[in-house]
Chain A
């Protein structure tokens, strides 16, 4: 036979006066509480927004959907190296010596031809480290936050594909 001794929770003695005190306190504190909540019937402006009709403006440096402006990318691989979850895939080849010399917007010479620039947004943890190391500032977080998709593969953004490059006019402010 095993005996388990449980400690009884402390319960204060309920005297006759204490009982009346409890009832009085119950009524009093409820009235106070109802008074506080009742003030919210008037005189308080609404704090919520009705989402699909009204959309919230995110702050300027909000870390939402990533966008790479591939024209300005010099394939330096710094973003792929700093990514803690390794979700940036870059492939590039050396630019032929006789090819036309091209530069990015801020004047850095492009010596590598970008062949693939893909970010798996499903893996991305939106930490923002890749945007801080980018030397030409072509990889940026935009304030676009509505990008759910039906399939996982649709979360892989190939920034050289024309349909995704078309976001540029919508997302990036020059």
Chain B
């Protein structure tokens, strides 16, 4: 993973001056470090305060998901899919359900399509709020976390009423959704969006415009456009580097082609293009775009059935598919191979968090340790998805 090995005799040059004063210190950040959001261990080699090398060690949360799916039928996979990115479980389910439906050739009713978009966009807001809160905690601000969780609670409450669970929903089923959404819940969503839009502006001026926050994040952890392409990063990290690419717009899936929304990109407003502040700002702007999409959904939703015709025992015809969707953390791809049986022959998941964490050895060297914390926070990984 690392690009170079360090031996006894070495010379470290930062910019144009030699910096090594003493021996290199190897430091383990994690697996229980509060800034790593889960169990990630980053082995860093430091010269005084400057990171020379950072190697992420994965696998602490490995659950053998892909192999396990080969022993489950197509409906039973959904609860396990939830557990990959547990902060955005709806988006994980949506991708899997779309992949199986495409192979089955199932028609999904219009109402179910709208409900799916509503829940997955609300989930995107909830997931970005989680990022917003924990990122502020990483950088030493506590109260934004409480504000973010207060609004996230409203979304989770709606999901709890819809599906019965707060985090691992098993709500989006193959062919539709589990439970119908009532008019009262739709109205509540509408009022929530109105209040949330106001408070999000307030939160952004509290955190994003703060000079200390800008000082900690601007010009830190810069991922250039070339590096972003080289490492294959996707989602808000790619858009933060100034690339206008969003699967919802460029390769529409589900019914996303019906909605009007913009793709926010990082422009280097406070520093360089692709720094931590840009990635933060892209996520905040994305929340506003999600609000727009949910509003259009609430206008367009119509009465009808919520689940299409699906056989009781799902037998997917032999073949394979690669389907990718835009999740809060980036592109999620499902490579599903079926041999015509009741169980998937192979289910490979391309997770965005894995590619993002593999870009860390390229961005980390040359930074201070405290900036490394800001960098890891800003790429917003969930270890459940990295390790699977």
**A residues whose Cβ falls under 8 Å from a Cβ of B:** 1-12, 22, 25-26, 28-30, 32-33, 36-37, 47, 58-59, 61-63, 82, 84, 125-129, 132, 141
Contact = CB atoms under 8 A, between A and B. Distances in A.
A30 B210 contact: yes
B206 A37 contact: yes
B165 A63 contact: yes
Given A4-B13, A127-B168, A12 B202 contact: no
Contacts of A11: 219
Find the residue from B16, B165, B271 having the highest chain A CB count within 10 A: B165
Contacts of A128: 163-165, 170
A4 B12 contact: yes
A144 to B, nearest CB: 13
B164 A82 contact: no
Contacts of A132: 178
A32 B222 contact: no
Contact of A10 (B10, B11, B52, B219): B219
A162 to B, nearest CB: 28
Interface string B191-226: 000000000001001100111100000011010000
Given A7-B365, A62-B164, A2 B14 contact: no
A31 to B, nearest CB: 11
Contacts of B82: 127
Interface string B249-274: 00000000000000000000001100
A63 B10 CA distance: 59
B140 to A, nearest CB: 13
Nearest to A33: B206
B161 A61 contact: yes
B26 interface: no
Given A6-B366, A9-B371, A32-B209, A126 B202 contact: no
A167 to B, nearest CB: 19
A115 to B, nearest CB: 26
A119 to B, nearest CB: 16
Nearest to B199: A36
Given A82-B75, A125-B79, A127-B170, A4 B4 contact: yes
Given A26-B211, A33-B210, A37-B206, A47 B153 contact: yes
Contacts of B13: 3-6
Contacts of B10: 1-4
B160 interface: yes
B7 A2 contact: yes
B9 interface: yes
20 contacts: A4-B10, A6-B50, A8-B366, A10-B222, A10-B271, A29-B209, A29-B210, A30-B211, A33-B210, A37-B143, A37-B206, A47-B150, A59-B160, A59-B164, A61-B161, A61-B163, A62-B165, A82-B76, A84-B79, A129-B170
Contacts of A5: 13
A9 B210 contact: no
Contacts of A7: 15, 365-366
B205 A129 contact: no
Interface string B1-41: 00010110111111110010000000000000000000000
Contacts of B165: 62-63, 126, 128
Contacts of A61: 161, 163-164, 179
Contacts of B79: 84, 125, 127, 129
Given A4-B6, A4-B13, 7 more contacts: A2-B6, A2-B7, A8-B366, A59-B160, A61-B161, A62-B160, A127-B170
Nearest to A83: B76
B9 A1 contact: yes
A13 to B, nearest CB: 12
Nearest to B203: A36
B342 to A, nearest CB: 11
B366 A2 contact: no
